Amino acid sequence: MTNTSSAWRLVASREVDVKLRDKGFIISMIITVLLIVAISVVLSIISSKHDHDSVVVTDDKAAAIVKVAQQDLAARGSTDKTEVVRAADEAEAHRELQNDDNMVYLHQKDGQWHLDGYDKTPSADGSSTGAMERAVAVAAVADNAKVAGVDASTMTKGMSLQTGQVRPSDGTSEAVGYILAIVFSVLFMMSAIYYGVMIANSVVEEKQSRIVEILLTGVRARQLLIGKIVGNTVLAVGQLIIICGLSMLAVSFSQ
C-alpha cells in the first residue's frame, strides 16, 4: 500500500492534473474570467470621473483664469486642454452644461470661485481641475494685492476653488454602485457554491463505479478523501486568485 504520508499528496496531484486537462473545466474558467473582467471594466468606466475639456464662462475674468490654466497645463507637459465657451448669463451656462456632460461652469459667487458640473461634481484629481485651482489662486493673490493695508489672511482669501454640480444628485451613482456590489457578491457566492459542489462531486464520483475498489487497494480511504479535498481546494483557491487578479488588472488599465 502506498506510503500514508505521501498518498494524499499523490491523490491531490492527480486531481489537479485531471481537472487541468478537462476541456469543460478550462472553457468554464475562461468564460468566468472574461465575464468578471468585462464587469470590472464596465464598473470602472461607469464610476470613473472624466476630466473636462470645455469650460463655460460668463465674464472676462473667468475666461482669463481658464487661459492661465491652459498655460499651466502646457507648461507641465499635459495633453489635456481647456477650451473657453462663452455664455451670456448663468441660465445659458446651465443650458450648455445640460447639453454636454464633459463641460463645466467656472464662475464667482460671493467672493468664492466655483467649478460646477451639471449632474456630477468635477473630479478634484483631474489635471484640468488642478490647473484651474492654481489659476484661481494666482488671480486671487493678484486681486488681493491691489487692496491697500491688507493682512496675510486677507491676501489668501478666496484662493480655493470649490467644486459642485448644478443639478442636485438623484442618487443614481450610489444606486449603480449598490447594484454592482450585490452583483459581485452574488457572483462570488455562486463561485463558492460551484467550487463546493465540485469538491463534493469529486469526492463521491468514483464511488459510482468500481474504480474506488481499485484505488482502495493502494490508498487508504481517508488518504483518498483528503487528497481529493486538498486537490480541488487548491484548484478553487487558484481560480479565485486568478479571477481577482485579472479583475484588478482590468480596472487599472481602464482608468
Phi-psi category of 110—alpha, beta or left, where left has phi over 0 and alpha has psi -120 to 50? Answer: left
CA 55 centroid distance within chain:
26
Gap between the Cα atoms of 82 and 128, Å rounded: 7
Structural domain boundaries in the chain: 4-45+174-254, 54-170
pLDDT tens column, 20-66: 888 888 888 888 778 877 777 776 666 554 455 689 999 999 999 99
103-109 vs 112-117, strand pairing mode: antiparallel
pLDDT tens column, 170-210: 555 566 566 766 776 777 777 778 777 877 776 666 555 55
Gap between the Cα atoms of 243 and 173, Å rounded: 25
pLDDT of residue 32: 79
Regarding predicted confidence, which is higher, 93 or 202? 93
pLDDT of residue 63: 92
pLDDT (average), residues 208-237: 75
Exposure b/e, 158-172, CB count within 10 A at least 16 = b = bbebebebbeeeeee
Q: Please state, for a pLDDT cut of 70, what percent of the chain lies above it.
A: 71
C-alpha cell, 111 = 467672493
pLDDT of residue 34: 83
Gap between the Cα atoms of 226 and 210, Å rounded: 20
Cβ neighbours of residue 154 closer than 8 Å, sequence gap 6 or more: 144, 147
Question: Is 226 in contact with 8 (CB distance < 8 Å)?
Answer: yes
Radius of gyration of the chain, Cα coordinates, nearest whole angstrom: 31
Give start and end residues of each alpha helix (H) in the chain. Answer: 4-20, 23-47, 60-75, 90-99, 127-145, 152-155, 172-205, 211-216, 221-254
pLDDT band of 105, cuts 50, 70, 90:
very high
Cβ neighbours of residue 147 closer than 8 Å, sequence gap 6 or more: 154
